[in-house]
Each structure stands twice: as C-alpha cells, then as structure tokens.
Amino acid sequence: MLMQPTRFAFPAFLLGAACIGFAGIFVRLSEVGPVATGFWRMLLATPILWLMSLHGPAPGGPRRHGGIALTALFFALDLTVWHLSLHITTVANATLLTNCVPVFCVPLLGWLLWKEAISPSFAQSFAITLLGVVLLTGENFALAPQRFAGDLLATLAAAFYCGYLLTLKSVRRDVPVARLMAQSSALSALIMLAIAAARGEVLMPAGLDAWLVLIGLALVTQVGGQTLIAYGIGHVSAHVAALGLMCQPAVATLAAWLLFDERIAPLQFCGAGLILVGIWFAKRRDR
C-alpha cells in the first residue's frame, strides 16, 4: 500500500459521498445534453486533478494501467446511464436505486475478493439505514409505468457503479489517489464525449450560467466528491463504504429542500437522521 490507514479516511469518504449528493441537482440544471454534462464534469476536473497529482509517484506496469482504464470505463458508463435516467424518472428514484444496489452487491464481492468479514451487526446497521432511506424518500419515491425505463436505467447505472467501486478499491492499493483520479477522469471524458457525439447531443454551453453549472458539477462532485471517495475507500472496508454511500439520498433531498423549496415532512428529517445513525453504527462496529 502507498498509504497507511488513517482516522480521517472514513470522514473523508462520507464528505465525498455528501458532495456527490448534489450531482443530480447539477445535472437537472445543466443546459447541455445529459451525457455531454458528464463529459464536461470530467474534462473540467481533469486539469485540477493533474496539478494535484504532479508531486506523487507515477504508477507503472500494464496491470495498473489496465485497472485505471477499467475504472474509467465503469465510471463513464455509470454516469452515462444515470444521467439519462435523471431525465426519465425522478431524482429520488434515480438516486435511491443507484445507491441501494451497491449496498447489496459490494459487501458480498468484498467478502469474495478480499475476504472482508461481514459481521452480524452490519445487518442491524443496514436495517437502520434502509429504514431511514424509506422514511426520507417514501413520499417522493414512486414506481410508475411512465418512469419504468428511467428506473431500469438507474438500476443498470448501479451495476456499473458497483464495478467502479470495486475496481477503484483494488487500484487504490497501488496508485496515488490524485493520479488515479486524473487519469481515470481524462479517460472517462473521452468515452463520454464519444457517446454524446454519437447521440447528437448539444455539447457547448450557451452562456455564463450554463458554464457555472458545469464548473460547479466538476468541482463539487468530481474534484471534491470522487477524490475524497477514492482516498477514503483505500482504508475503509467494502461493506461499510457501500453503506456510507447511502447518505447521498439524504443530501440530495435536503439540498432540493434548500435550493428548490421542495417540501420535506417531519418523517423525512427523521429518516435523514436514521441514515446517519446507521452509517455511524456500521463504522463503529467495524473497528
């Protein structure tokens, strides 16, 4: 490993997940195409990430480069499909479905790949967190025929996100976080540019407001959010990391309340609190 475990790893991971909770809002505000929005997120973040990576050692060997390329591919496909789902289903549906699937899959694969034991207390933590999510999004989450395609895309995005998290955790053992994020972001940008061009999407922002949305998306979710997650996941067990991602629906709902004046019932505030309790309980028992 390049870095020793640190007590700041899990708080960094949670802060990164919180930053990503704003992604759906930025995507909805964007004036360019959904996949093009992801392209700009990656492209605008890449120069900053490269500057951050200059002081670190360069990874070598085809295995490491292959791992970085696979990380970029999974993330590009995840963002592509998730951004498309946001324009078909609700933000609540898309965010919840994309983050629920990794909670089931990542711990199991973490146990299979790295022999990370899943303690009985994790089931309790998961139950508390899931109850919090149900209370938080219950009034907004709905399954409807007109949204089925979007819900299906969000579930597919979750599968790609699982692949991203697992490859990220594996590559993070050998590659400095800033260099990993710089290289993977650059590759993801190229992949998403090709997809956006093939779809005939609007690529260029039309004005200052459109640019500010894309810059905010790049800085908050990619430079801030994904970099903190990449740093933290190298020191956090896979099942706790997957559960920690569940704070994203809480952040997305609260942000929508603050920014768009969307109504939040008292039970939803209780749900947000339960999510935090469940995540804290999982990390405390994981020591």
Q: How far apart are CA 149 and CA 283, in angstroms?
A: 35
Confidence of residue 1 (pLDDT cuts 50, 70, 90): very low
Predicted confidence at residue 243, as pLDDT, reads: 73
Predicted confidence at residue 43, as pLDDT, reads: 96
Q: pTM, whole model, 2 decimals?
A: 0.79
Phi/psi zone of residue 247: left (φ > 0), alpha (ψ -120 to 50 degrees), beta?
alpha
- Dihedral of the alpha carbons of 20, 96, 244, 286, in degrees to the nearest 10: -170
Predicted confidence at residue 52, as pLDDT, reads: 86
236 backbone dihedrals φ, ψ, rounded to 5°:
-115, 140
Size of the chain in residues? 287
